[in-house]
Chains A and B, each alone.
Chain A
């Protein structure tokens, strides 16, 4: 158990709909990352939040958005869903110690499997 929780575990919805995925990081971790894993694209970084603020963006579509709340949990919002959005969505958290050269071990949650029909 990594200490990172994600809900729901499974989500089935229709094209055009909107869904929200939730992530609770490990206690004390300030950074939250979202990754998407699809069969054809592999594991891809979407976005990172650090202590409530957006820190880095990867291959995140404009239809997707995220936020991190004061209690440090994070939500990933996916709208106008398409068949190609079907994937596993992972959240990870880390302490992220700043200061040049610091390493950054990430702890991944169990993922949310999204199926768009």
Chain B
């Protein structure tokens, strides 16, 4: 099973950047790193993915280390609506199912 390690919880002040770390030391060369989040009991929501290079979209930035064994998701200006459980996952072609760990529960504090 593809496994990642994330801190169980983090707090972030509203308006500040939230930096969520993830260790994925078992990642294979052709596997992508994905980040999803789940707000309360809603369906998980895709945030961003990356292979080797850093990536940015309208929601977040993803920083992947050169050895690809860890990554950091950055929410540049956290809002109360960003309070959720954030999951870091690695998965590749030929194995598209997502293996969710326990994730990081991010609490954005006013």
Contacts and interface: CB of A to CB of B under 8 A. Distances in A.
Interface of A: 2, 4, 31, 33, 35, 42-45, 48, 55-56, 58, 88, 90, 92, 94, 96, 98-111, 113
B46 A96 contact: no
B91 A104 contact: yes
Interface in B32-88: 32, 34, 38, 41-46, 49, 51, 87
Contacts of B99: 45
A4 B44 CA distance: 12
Nearest to B48: A105
Contacts of B41: 88, 111, 113
Given A33-B97, A42-B100, A42-B101, A107 B30 contact: no
A92 to B, nearest CB: 7
A64 to B, nearest CB: 15
Interface SS of chain B: helix, strand, loop or mixed?
A: loop
Contacts, number: 70
Given A101-B30, A101-B92, A43 B100 contact: yes
A85 to B, nearest CB: 17
Interface size range of chain B in the complex: 20 to 34
Contacts of B51: 101, 103
A10 B65 CA distance: 42
A106 B46 contact: yes
A98 B49 contact: no
Nearest to B96: A104
A31 B51 CA distance: 22
B44 A90 contact: yes
